Structure 1
Amino acid sequence: MAETRAPRTGRLRREAEGEAASFPALLAEAERIAASVMHGTHGRRRPGMGESFWEYRPHRREDGAARVDWRRSARGDQLFVRETEWEAANGVFLWRDGDAGMALSSPSLPVKRDRAAVCLIALASLLSRGGERIAALGETGPARGGRRGLERTAQALADGPGDVRSVEAPALPRHAHVVLASDFLDPAETWQARLAGLRASGAGGALLRVVDPAEEDFPFSGRTRFRDPASNGDLLFGRAQSARDTYQTLWREHADALARLARRSGFTLITHRTDRPAASAVMALYQVIAGMDR
């Protein structure tokens, strides 16, 4: 048993180290982008928000034992947390899709997953500098401010699983703002159900649709094999160019459906191609969040 476990342990350690090695680079890129975007923007720190009591809410697993209000919880069989006014009304929750399809990249361009992480980390840095509390949805617990809150959120956005169940069953405080970064290639009906759950909790915000240029332009011709990253299934075209017009029509229809869905659900859809500067996407996201409290 020990002999079989040792090679597996070493392999897992190497894989973990390989994943972690990308984090400093992503963080450095995000901080550079945040610094460039920060010029000319205004922070969102608002007067009157603080640590005054807002309400009791049911305890969630990610809160931990330290958050339990034992006096209130002793009145019944359920655990409760004291939520402050700041936590209830001043939190931005960020989510980066971890689906296998987000690992796609054209030559010399970043993979969609990394570009999404960089944009969200840069946004988190901007919001943190403006006094905002931030969190990675479903991964870091309550929204936190300061450098520690930023570091925890950035680590989760870079290396976390990005499980879509965090979107489907969100644990959000009242009035939270949400930013989801994905390619949003699941059917619009699927995203409609997910956004309905967020809307029911009172959340609104932005959807960052990250697109590789090959997905939008379909530059393929001749004999081309396409592989589904989730199932590893193959689709072979003898003349790929013959499918271009139909593909691009379906692509535009899906994008239009997402835009309509976002508007109905209280979200703003922002499409970003990975062959374009990330700063433009970060600025657009920041303006959406900053404008929600005006």
Structure 2
Amino acid sequence: MTSPLALREKAETQAARLPALLARAEQLAGAVLLGDHGRRRAGMGDDFWQYRPAQLGDSLRMIDHRRSAMGDVQFVREREWQIAQSVMLWVDQGAAMRFASGDALPTKAERARVLGLAVAILLIRGGERVGLTGTRLPPRRGNPQILRLAEMFSEDAEDDYAPPEHRAMIPHARAVFISDFMGDIADVRTALTKAADRGVRGVLLHVLDPAEEAFPFRGRTVFQSMGGTIEHETLKASELKDRYLERLAARKAELQHLCSVAGWQYGLHHTETPAQAGLLWLWRALDGGAGRA
């Protein structure tokens, strides 16, 4: 049982992270909004969006007679798309995500959390409901929800690898999974299968440290998991490189295959690249776009 003192220290540590995480996410979301005009589109909402010339197939009820009376062309008054959808996030909080190969690089967890929170900020400000997969935080709108998300993203799991949470998937909603996906691939397969069964479509962002792509190790090396549960020592680390890179390539291919079958989009993001690139990919992928993160 955790002592009150240890619990207080843990709570204070997590609370200290919130302002920095929120500030980075707010700054990142603001940068993307400056370069991208969001998710506005014509639809069945109530807010005015734009006038456009009437086209073949438009009903007479769509004509704005006051605007059309100003000239010889009939105009349609389009309204903003306001059908808020639910978006569920899963950001890996396992110990393996706390790895960074250099002091100048963020950990995978830091990058995943700021990307997850930043995309939540963009979605909530666009009028959509955002929450976590599972039952802890159902999708809601508003700034208080951003604070709740920041608080929960600041938690750390003890296990090396955290399986994707797939409970309480809302039918026909959307989802975002962000992880290094170094754990059991069967857990990812189960989560995406259950999501597809419920008509949930989403995006999977694969976050890796540059050392995990290059495997720059030589000579005597001790490999230890961030949680301390796995350890392997070798005198010739370079001899493991080819086998490691083959397994990494196979893992990427499997993730891409699972996404293709489930109707999801797969993106790869490296922690040495700007966070803005990852967020922009997420933002556009949720809107049906594609590309590299």
Residue 149 of structure 2 aligns with an amino acid whose one-letter code is T
- Identity of matched residues, %: 35
**Is 1:115 the equivalent of 2:104?**
no
| Structure-1 separation of matches of 2:38 and 2:287 | 8
2:123 to 127, 131, 140: 127
- Residue 253 of structure 2 corresponds to which residue in structure 1? 256
Which residues of structure 1 form unaligned runs of 5+? 51-85
Relative to the length of structure 1, the TM-score reads: 0.77
| Structure-1 separation of matches of 2:176 and 2:262 | 13
- Residue 154 of structure 2 corresponds to which residue in structure 1? 158
1:104 to 99, 107, 120: 99
Residue correspondence of structure 1 range 1-294 to structure 2 within 5 A: 8-44=3-39, 47-48=43-44, 90-108=85-103, 109-138=105-134, 140-159=136-155, 167-168=165-166, 170-230=167-227, 232-291=229-288
| Structure-2 separation of matches of 1:173 and 1:194 | 13
SS of the equivalent of 1:48 reads: strand
Which residues of structure 2 form unaligned runs of 5+? 47-81
Relative to the length of structure 2, the TM-score reads: 0.77
- Residue deviations 1:11-40, cap 9 Å, x none? 221122112211211111111111111123
Residue 117 of structure 2 aligns with an amino acid whose one-letter code is I
Which structure dedicates a bigger proportion of its chain to helix? 1
- Residue deviations 1:227-281, cap 9 Å, x none? 1234523100101111112211221121111111111111111111111111111
| Structure-2 separation of matches of 1:201 and 1:241 | 45
| Structure-2 separation of matches of 1:191 and 1:92 | 18
| Structure-2 separation of matches of 1:165 and 1:237 | 29
After TM superposition, the structure 1 stretch with the greater mean CA deviation from structure 2, 157-166 or 11-20, is 157-166
Structure-2 change in CA distance of 1:164 and 1:11 (3 Å): closer
Is the CA contact 1:95–1:157 (under 8 Å) kept in the aligned structure 2? Answer: no
Deviation at 1:166, TM superposition (A): 6.4
| Structure-2 separation of matches of 1:106 and 1:204 | 33
| Structure-1 separation of matches of 2:240 and 2:151 | 40
* Number of aligned positions between the proteins: 250
Question: RMSD of aligned C-alpha atoms?
Answer: 2.5
Deviation at 1:92, TM superposition (A): 0.7
Deviation at 1:158, TM superposition (A): 2.8
